[in-house]
C-alpha cells in the first residue's frame, strides 16, 4: 500500500461489509502514523507498533486520544514499548488500580542490549568480549536493528519507547525532555550493509573498550539504561534519561544477555521489591506480539466471538 492511496484505503475499509474493521500499522512511516487519529475518528480500530503517532507533540497526542474517545474506537499499541513482553498491560493495571509508579528503569532496545552483552558479557556467561563494531555487525545480521541502525545506537528508538511508557503513566512531556547520550549519533546508516556499518563503527571501538574495561574493573557491566523518575516539584514532567551506565552485579539487569530487554517498576505498592519484566526479543516475537494484539482486540469487539465459547488452546 502506497501512502498516496491511504484515503482510498480508508474509504474501502468504511465500505467493507464486516462486523469489525481493524487497521494494522506495522510500518515506521510518519505519513501513516498521522492517519491514526483520522481513522479512529471515523470509527476504525487501529492495532499498531508504530510509535510515531504516540511520540509527537503533546497537543497532537491529546488530539489523537480525543478522536478515539469520540467514536469509542480501540487503539491498541501494546507492542509500542516492551515488544512482546507484558509491559504496557502491567502499566495499565498499575495505573487503573491507583498505584503510583515512582521510578522506571529499562533496557528497551533489543539491538543495543545485544551489542552491549557481546561487548560486556554478564558474569555468568562464558562468552568473550568482542569489539563494538563486530557486535553491531552481528546484531544487524541477526535482524535486530531498525531500518536505520542509527535510530537504535543513538538512543532515539529507546527514547520513543520511554516516552510512550511515560505518557501511559500520565506524564505530559516530549522527546526533548529526555536527556539522551547515545552510542553513535553520526550519519544515517540506512541502506548500509552489515560489513559497511562494521567498518564505520571501528572508529568507536577503542573508546568503548576503555569504558567496558573500567566497568569490569568495578565488577559491573555496561548497559544502555533508560530511567524515568517521578518529581514532586514537577508532577506532570518526570526526570528522564538514557545513557550508557555501569550496572552492578546485584542489579537484575546485570544478567541480561543476548537480545533480552527488561523494565523495572518501583511503585508505592512495590516499594521494597520492584516489579521486573524481562525476556528475549526476536523478529518473530515482534510479529507474533502484533498478531496477538489483533486477536485480543477482535475478540473484545466482536460480540459473536464472545458467544462462541472457548477457542482451541484456551484454559
pTM: 0.92
- Rounded to the nearest 5 degrees, what angle is found at the Cα of 139, between the Cα atoms of 31 and 53? 20
> Mean pLDDT over residues 158-170, rounded?
97
Q: What is the pLDDT of residues 132-154, one digit of tens each?
A: 999 999 999 999 999 999 999 99
pLDDT at 304: 43
Q: What is the pLDDT of residues 249-308, one digit of tens each?
A: 999 999 999 999 999 999 999 999 999 999 999 878 878 888 888 888 888 776 544 443
119-127 contacts at long range (C-beta below 8 A, 24 or more positions apart): 119/208, 119/209, 119/212, 119/222, 120/212, 120/215, 120/216, 120/221, 120/222, 121/221, 121/257, 122/221, 122/254, 122/255, 122/256, 122/257, 123/221, 123/249, 123/254, 124/255, 125/257
Of the pLDDT bands very low, low, confident and very high (cuts 50, 70, 90), residue 309 is very low
In terms of phi and psi (left: phi > 0; alpha: psi -120 to 50; beta: otherwise), the region of 313 is left
Q: What is the pLDDT of residues 89-131, one digit of tens each?
A: 999 999 999 999 999 999 999 999 999 999 999 988 888 999 9
Q: What is the pLDDT of residues 45-82, one digit of tens each?
A: 999 999 999 999 999 999 999 999 999 999 999 888 99
CA nearest neighbour of 166 among 76, 256, 231, 73: 231
Q: List 244's β-bridge partners, or say none.
A: 224
Amino acid at each position: 500500500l502506497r501512502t498516496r492511496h491511504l484515503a482510498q484505503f480508508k474509504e474501502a475499509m468504511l465500505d467493507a461489509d464486516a462486523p469489525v474493521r481493524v487497521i494494522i500499522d506495522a510500518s515506521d512511516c510518519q505519513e501513516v502514523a498521522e492517519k491514526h487519529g483520522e481513522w479512529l475518528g471515523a470509527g476504525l480500530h487501529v492495532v499498531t507498533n508504530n510509535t510515531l503517532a504516540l511520540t509527537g507533540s503533546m497537543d497532537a497526542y491529546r488530539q489523537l486520544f480525543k478522536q478515539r474517545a469520540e467514536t469509542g474506537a480501540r487503539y491498541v499499541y501494546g507492542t509500542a514499548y516492551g515488544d512482546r513482553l507484558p509491559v504496557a498491560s502491567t502499566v495499565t493495571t498499575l495505573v487503573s488500580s491507583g498505584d503510583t509508579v515512582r521510578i522506571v528503569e529499562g533496557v528497551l532496545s533489543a539491538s543495543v542490549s545485544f551489542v552491549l552483552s557481546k561487548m560486556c558479557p554478564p558474569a555468568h556467561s562464558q562468552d568473550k568480549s568482542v569489539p563494538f563494531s563486530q557486535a553491531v555487525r552481528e546484531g544487524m545480521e541477526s535482524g535486530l536493528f531498525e531500518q536505520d541502525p542509527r535510530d537504535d545506537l543513538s538512543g532515539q528508538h529507546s527514547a520513543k519507547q520511554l516516552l510512550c511508557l511515560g505518557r501511559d503513566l500520565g506524564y505530559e512531556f516530549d522527546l526533548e525532555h529526555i536527556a539522551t547520550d547515545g552510542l553513535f549519533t553520526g550519519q544515517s546508516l540506512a541502506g548500509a550493509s552489515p560489513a559497511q556499518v562494521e567498518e564505520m563503527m571501528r572508529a568507536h571501538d577503542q573508546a568503548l573498550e576503555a569504558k567496558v574495561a573500567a566497568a569490569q574493573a568495578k565488577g559491573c557491566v555496561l548497559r544502555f539504561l533508560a530511567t524515568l523518575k517521578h518529581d514532586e516539584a514537577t508532577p506532570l514532567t518526570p526526570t528522564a534519561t538514557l545513557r550508557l551506565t555501569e550496572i552492578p552485579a546485584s542489579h537484575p539487569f546485570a544478567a541480561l544477555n543476548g537480545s533480552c530487554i527488561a523494565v523495572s517498576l518501583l511503585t508505592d505498592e512495590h516499594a521494597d521489591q520492584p516489579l521486573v519484566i524481562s525476556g528475549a526479543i526476536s523478529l518473530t516475537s515482534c510479529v507474533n506480539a502484533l498478531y496477538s494484539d489483533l486477536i485480543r482486540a477482535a475478540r473484545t469487539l466482536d460480540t459473536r466471538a464472545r458467544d462462541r465459547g472457548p477457542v482451541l488452546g484456551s484454559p
